[in-house]
Amino acid sequence: MPAITSNLNPLKSGLGISEEQLVASLCRDDFYFFVQEFWDIVVPEKPVWNWHIKYICDELQIVAERIFKGKPKYYDLVINIPPGMSKSTICSVMFPVWVWIRMPSFRSICGSYAHPLALDLSRKSRDVVRSEKFRTLFPHIEMRKDQDTKAYFANTKGGARYSVGSGGSITGMHGHALIIDDPIDPAMAMSDADLKNINEWMNETLSQRKVDKAVTPLILIMQRLHQNDPSGVRLKMRGKLKHICLPAILTDKVNPPELKKFYVRGLLDPRRLNKKTLKEARSYLGTFGYAGQMMQDPVPRGGGMFRVDRIKLVESEPSPKQFRMIVRFWDKAGLDGKGAYTVGVKMAVDREGRFWILDVVRGQWDASRREEIIRQTAARDGVHVRIGLEQEPGSAGLESAQNTIKNLVGFRVEAKRATGDKVIRADTFASQVNAGNVCMVEAPWNEEFLDELRYFPKSTYKDQVDSCSGGFAMLSRPKIRIGAF
């Protein structure tokens, strides 16, 4: 007989219920109790039962109870939490096994960013089912001998756990729950192509693998890594969604807000993520990595490279007479409705040395429409506004710049060849923003503009920053007087 690790004593009330029967009943009714009971089978280290573990277990049980009853889901679930907080043990290892106790025919599709990681989590789930304790407490759950691999194992009642790496094939599989645990690794978060592929896989492929679209929930568990990571995309989508956000340190990102009361001395888990541990994490993760992975905010507080909270907003544009120079700098893109944006930022420097963001024209147009927009904007700005163009490398970039200059006959235009890294080019403008020396006119385009600066260089798009870099270079270029050295 396997050892039962609970502190319960056998009932001596004459009801004829053994301790094993009681433990089995409690495991069946309470997922958190089940996690505690089977913890040592998965994790050899002594557990640290921080409050967040019970909270996540209870939330998963709320989702599961609807599935057991075949009722429409309340919501999909997005959980953002730092690494090392037992999220995978709870969500990817224990949960797909526990549901079999209540609903033996339950089928789970479980994904992670790498197939080997998905297989390892699946192996741990299978270890729980194969354990002597599980077989003693739940003898009605028997494994199928013809379907018992790390990637895909099933029981004799129709239940199954299928594991897949992000972007992998799930043809023919349908789940009562879709459990996606860290769909991207931190190294992928800087790749726009990888982010695009993962989001498309989740939105177009995974979403079609539900037993019942009204009932089957998506459970997404991950650390935040990018403005446009799967969590960020999900949070922007319409639909019923519950967002649980647990940063390592108490901030206004904690969600639901009532969970703030559980933080101890401002810490999510003062034992595993104490101040010393977090200080070390900041040193090896860097500013952006720490902000995303530990603080669940993929941009450092107040902004990353750009401290956007220091940009001063004004209600209306001052008179042109207050400015020493006004420019409109264009960063051109050539695709209609796809890829990057064509952006023209109108900037100025006033007589006190402050820099201004006056207007932003932004769109995804084909070459013909783009040139028409640039010409119309120049006419609206007037000849007193200098025009700058970013010239892409190569003969095609030169030709494109020459065509635009011809299109702007009558205006003062210059092309500037793009050299060096985007981040380096943006640094001098960022210095003025961070010093509080930049003003911006209130307008409908403000939100998208500030978002791009806030998340840069991890922003989804970088065209507005590029345009600002070019415009700032024109405004801050030193004046050379005749005869001066």
Chain segment 398-455, per-residue pLDDT in tens: 888 899 999 999 999 999 887 777 887 888 898 899 899 999 999 999 999 998 998 8
Given pLDDT bands bounded at 50, 70 and 90, which one contains residue 335? low
Taking residues 112-127, report their average pLDDT: 91
Q: What is the predicted pLDDT for the residue at 291?
A: 86
State the Cα–Cα distance between residues 92 and 88, nearest whole angstrom. 5
Question: Containing H/E element for 243?
Answer: strand 241-245
Higher pLDDT: 118 or 38? It is 38
pLDDT at 256 over 90: yes
Per-residue pLDDT at 39 = 96
| List of residues 6+ apart from 410 with CB closer than 8 A | 383
What integer is the mean pLDDT of 185-205? 81
Q: Which phi and psi (to 5°) does residue 140 adopt?
A: -75, -10
> What would the pLDDT profile of 203-217 be if each residue is shown by its tens digit?
999 999 999 999 999
> What is the average per-residue pLDDT within 136-155?
91
Range in 46-60, 157-171, 191-205 with the lowest mean pLDDT? 191-205
pLDDT at 282: 84
Could you tell me if 131 and 34 are in contact, meaning their C-beta atoms sit under 8 angstroms apart? no
Q: In this predicted structure, what is the pLDDT of residue 185?
A: 81
In total, the chain counts a number of residues equal to 485
Give the C-alpha distances (Å, rounded to integers) separating 476 from 412, 445, 473: 17, 24, 5
Least-confidence region, from 1-5, 151-155, 234-238 = 1-5
Q: What percent of the chain has pLDDT over 70?
A: 92
CB 474 within 8 A of CB 327: yes
CATH fold, domain 308-475, is Nucleotidyltransferase; domain 5 (3.30.420)
Which of 171-180, 282-291, 340-349 bottoms out in mean pLDDT, i.e. has the lowest? 282-291
CATH 3.40.50.300, the chain: domain bounds: 19-245
Backbone phi and psi for residue 113, each to the nearest 5 degrees, phi listed first: -65, -30
- Average pLDDT (382-403) is 86
Whole-number pLDDT of residue 188: 62
Take residue 190 and report the two structure tokens written for it: 């800087």
β-pair partners for 359: 346
Q: How far apart are CA 405 and CA 403, in angstroms?
A: 5
Look at residues 253, 207, 229 and name the one whose alpha carbon lies nearest to residue 81: 253
Cα 286 from chain centre: 17
Q: What is the pLDDT of residues 292-326, one digit of tens each?
A: 899 998 876 555 688 898 999 999 888 989 999 99
- Is the predicted pLDDT of residue 4 greater than 70, yes or no? no
Confidence (pLDDT) at 144:
93
Name the CATH superfamily, with its identifier, for domain 19-245.
P-loop containing nucleotide triphosphate hydrolases (3.40.50.300)
Q: What is the DSSP letter of 267?
A: B
**What own/partner pairs with CB < 8 Å and gap ≥ 24 does 353-357 have?**
353/437, 354/437, 354/438, 354/439, 355/429, 355/432, 355/437, 355/438, 355/439, 355/472, 355/475, 356/318, 356/323, 356/438, 356/439, 356/440, 356/441, 357/311, 357/438, 357/439, 357/440, 357/441, 357/449, 357/468
pLDDT at residue 189 above 70?
Answer: no
464 has pLDDT over 80: yes
Is the pLDDT at 32 greater than 80? The verdict is: yes
Decide if 77 contacts 242 (C-beta within 8 A): yes
Of residues 157 and 8, the one with the higher pLDDT is 157
Least confident interval from 12-26, 244-258, 372-386: 12-26
Residue 14 has pLDDT above 50, yes or no: no
Q: How confident is the model at residue 333 (pLDDT cuts 50, 70, 90)?
A: confident
pLDDT at 483: 36
Judged against a pLDDT cut of 50, whether residue 13 lies above it is answered with no
Residue 407 and residue 415: Cα distance in Å, rounded? 13
Cβ atoms 161, 108 nearer than 8 A: yes
Q: What is the pLDDT of residue 406?
A: 92
d(CA 445, CA 458): 20
Per-residue pLDDT, 418: 74
pLDDT at res. 416:
86
Instruction: Enter the tokens of residue 141.
Output: 């759950």
On whether the pTM is more than 0.75, the answer is: no
Look at the block and give the residue holding tokens 């993962």: 198
What pLDDT score does 380 carry?
Answer: 95
d(CA 312, CA 464): 18
Q: Classify residue 270 by its DSSP letter.
A: T
Compute the 3-state secondary structure of the chain and give helix, strand, coil in percent, each to the nearest 5: 40, 20, 40
Taking only the tens place, the pLDDT of each residue in 350-379 is: 999 999 999 999 999 998 999 999 999 999
Q: Which two tokens stand for residue 447?
A: 């939100």
Strand 438-441 and strand 312-314: pairing?
A: parallel
Q: Where in the chain is the domain with CATH 3.30.420.280?
A: 308-475
Give 484's pLDDT tier (boundaries 50, 70, 90). very low
Closest to 154 measured CA to CA, from 175, 137, 169, 181: 175
What pLDDT sits at residue 480? Answer: 37
Confidence class of residue 10 from pLDDT cuts 50, 70 and 90?
Answer: very low
